[in-house]
Amino acid sequence: MYWRLLGYINYVRKKGANVFFRKRKSLNPDVGPVISFTFDDFPISAASEGANILEKYGARATFYASMSNLDKPGFFRTCDLEELFCKGHEIGCHTFSHIDCWKENPLRLLEDVKMNQLALQAVIPQSRFTTFAYPYAHVPIIGKLIVGAKFNAARGGKGGINCESVDANSLLAHTLFYNLNQKNLVELISNVASCKGWLIFIIHDVGEEPSTYGCTPAQLEMAVRLATQLKIRILPVQDALTAFGIE
């Protein structure tokens, strides 16, 4: 009985997050199609292998950083942040402590976001977060209100392609993880080309033996190459917002 009740409460919370505090924006149909590659947390392999693949095709990505991970074993280093920023990649906010926004007090979320900004500016003084990604893809109802006031847009946890009208407080996104087969990947990219929308990929690490939440270099390169062949623009999230006329 307890677990059924808990499951129902979580279901209502998810539905509520999709309904309340929407930041409705329209995508300029003359801009798409666009794909954004986003790396969460982010491991060193994303900053090296992932960035290298994007740069090979003249593209840039968004790296969502929880600054509490800075210089921890396996995670991004100060030199990675500086290099990515200088090369034109976007550094996005993922909270300082990688907190679960569903479980935390909204005031704690606000404080954690502020801490993340200060930590980033301690490394790159001229930088400022303009986009956000909810850790664990958990989109809280009140949290959307806080995030919407602080950032131009936030990537949510619901799958799909952003077309025509979007909720900028919870942008649709699709995982590009190891278990995504080639057929489905090609279909996704072909669909965004057809609808002239905006597809956002979520990735963590990049390696020959990736984690459950990562992909192989071959998978990532195939996605980038196919997008290039189909003349789909590859842009960091903030650049895509600007292109679509969303500020």
Which tens digits make up the pLDDT trace of 79-96?
999 999 999 999 999 999
Closest CA to 110 of 82, 84, 138, 144: 144
Residue 22 has, within 13 A of its CA and on its CB side, a CA count of: 13
Residue 201, H or E segment: strand 198-203
What's the predicted TM-score (pTM) here?
A: 0.91
Give me the pLDDT at residue 37, please.
Answer: 98
Asked if residues 34 and 227 have their Cβ atoms less than 8 Å apart, the reply is: no
Q: What's the pLDDT tens digit per position in 174-223?
A: 999 988 889 999 999 999 999 999 999 999 999 999 999 999 999 999 99
Give me the pLDDT at residue 39, please.
Answer: 98
| Distance (Å) of CA 52 to CA 64, 119, 182, 224 | 17, 25, 21, 11
Burial (CB count <10 Å: 0-12, 13-18, 19+), residue 184: exposed
Strands (E), 23-175: 24-26, 34-41, 62-65, 90-93, 131-133, 153-155, 165-167, 174-175
